[in-house]
């Protein structure tokens, strides 16, 4: 299958404003790209790219005073299968974990393991370790939090989401990540494109999706506590300890988000050997990223 994916983000800046943009498809999907999701900036400005400490592709610009438009439109090849469920994937004793996973056991900006340690063991201490325990965490978080964009808050932490019982996908992910870390399961935050491929369409604006990966059975595996089911066509953008490490845009100065659009559509092949492009329905949403 082929998936068309991209975004259009428009800012107004009262003065020149440095920005770091983490918007490119993850390097692990580079060989799948048919048309790269090249970042286009209007008006054009100098741009540099680098890989951050987690391996994510980042772009640096200085947005000029006034209106600036960021956009990309890529095409990627996907296997079209649902994400795997590996019920036999075992949890590792901490002393046997690879060194590079240990940072994902620690508390972080949005994931307060010290505040949720007791709740984690009370809720999940009697569940079978491994895949079943992580799924129990996702089941609980999915039931516990009520979804709504009106509940979004850029400062909301896992502990606050646990107590308020409302939030958006990043809050689901932060709470599940925190519980997993409390239970000695390495867990990391992920941002991605996630369209309605293989599921009933949702009557809501398209957005980037926050989820998590956990380390079981010697490998990292995706879990999505917000949707709580394996999905088709997730396009990874970035990984980190929590949302602070993988912010879509980080701005160093006053700015206003004027518009925000994201699209992720399966592209049907209308004629054998000829690429057919589907018509996309783009929804516009304003608010804080």
Question: How would you class 289 by CB atoms within 10 Å of its CB: exposed for 0-12, middle for 13-18, buried for 19 or more?
Answer: middle
CB 57 within 8 A of CB 24: yes
Query: How high is the pLDDT of residue 205?
Result: 77
Give the residue from 147, 206, 199, 198 showing the smallest Cα distance to 173: 147
Query: How high is the pLDDT of residue 286?
Result: 31
Q: What is the DSSP letter of 203?
A: S
Distance CA 242, CA 147 (A): 19
Write down the domain spans for the chain.
2-80+247-267, 94-235
The kind and range of the H/E element at 117 are helix 113-124
2-80+247-267, CATH topology level: Immunoglobulin-like (2.60.40)
What are the C-alpha distances in Å from 114 to residues 75, 140, 172, 179, 234?
42, 19, 18, 10, 31
What order do you get walking across the sheet with 249-251 strand by strand?
A: 48-51, 57-63, 17-21, 249-251
Please give the mean pLDDT across all residues of the chain.
92
CB 174 within 8 A of CB 110: yes
CATH of 94-235, picked from 3.30.70.20, 3.40.50.20, 3.30.420.40, 3.10.620.30, is 3.10.620.30
Query: How high is the pLDDT of residue 53?
Result: 95
Q: Which residues contact 66 (CB under 8 A, 6 or more apart)?
A: 12, 13
Q: At what angle do helices 169-182 and 113-124 cross, to 10 degrees?
A: 80
Query: How high is the pLDDT of residue 206?
Result: 86
pLDDT in tens, 173-192: 999 999 999 999 999 999 99
Query: How high is the pLDDT of residue 270?
Result: 59
* Under-50 pLDDT residues of the chain: 271-289
Cis peptide before 43 (omega within 30 of 0): yes
Distance CA 129, CA 132 (A): 6
Query: How high is the pLDDT of residue 8?
Result: 98
Q: Are strands 187-193 and 235-240 parallel, antiparallel or unpaired?
A: antiparallel
């Amino acid at each position: 299958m082929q998936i068309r994916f991209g975004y259009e983000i428009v800012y107004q800046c009262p003065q020149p404003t440095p920005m770091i943009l983490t918007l490119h498809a993850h390097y692990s999907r580079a060989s799948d790209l048919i048309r790269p999701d090249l970042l286009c900036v209007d008006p054009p400005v100098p741009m540099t790219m680098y890989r951050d400490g987690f391996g994510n592709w980042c772009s640096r610009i200085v947005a000029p005073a006034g209106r600036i438009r960021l956009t990309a439109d890529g095409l990627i090849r996907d296997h079209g299968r649902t994400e795997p469920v590996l019920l036999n994937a075992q949890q590792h004793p901490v002393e046997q974990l690879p060194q590079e996973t240990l940072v994902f056991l620690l508390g972080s900006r949005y994931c307060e393991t010290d505040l949720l340690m007791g709740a984690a063991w009370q809720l999940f201490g009697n569940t079978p370790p491994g895949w079943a325990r992580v799924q129990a965490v996702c089941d609980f978080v999915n039931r516990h939090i009520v979804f709504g964009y009106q509940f979004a808050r850029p400062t909301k932490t896992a502990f606050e989401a646990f107590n308020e019982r409302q939030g958006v996908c990043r809050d689901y992910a932060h709470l599940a990540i925190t519980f997993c870390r409390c239970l000695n399961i390495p867990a990391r935050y992920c941002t991605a494109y996630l369209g309605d491929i293989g599921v009933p369409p949702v009557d809501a604006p398209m957005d980037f999706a926050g989820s998590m990966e956990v380390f079981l059975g010697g490998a990292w595996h995706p879990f999505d506590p917000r949707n709580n089911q394996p999905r088709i066509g997730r396009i990874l953008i970035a990984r980190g300890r929590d949302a602070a490490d993988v912010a879509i845009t980080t701005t160093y100065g006053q700015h206003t988000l004027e518009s925000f659009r994201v699209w992720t559509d399966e592209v049907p092949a209308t004629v054998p050997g000829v690429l057919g492009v589907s018509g996309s329905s783009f929804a516009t949403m304003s608010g804080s990223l």
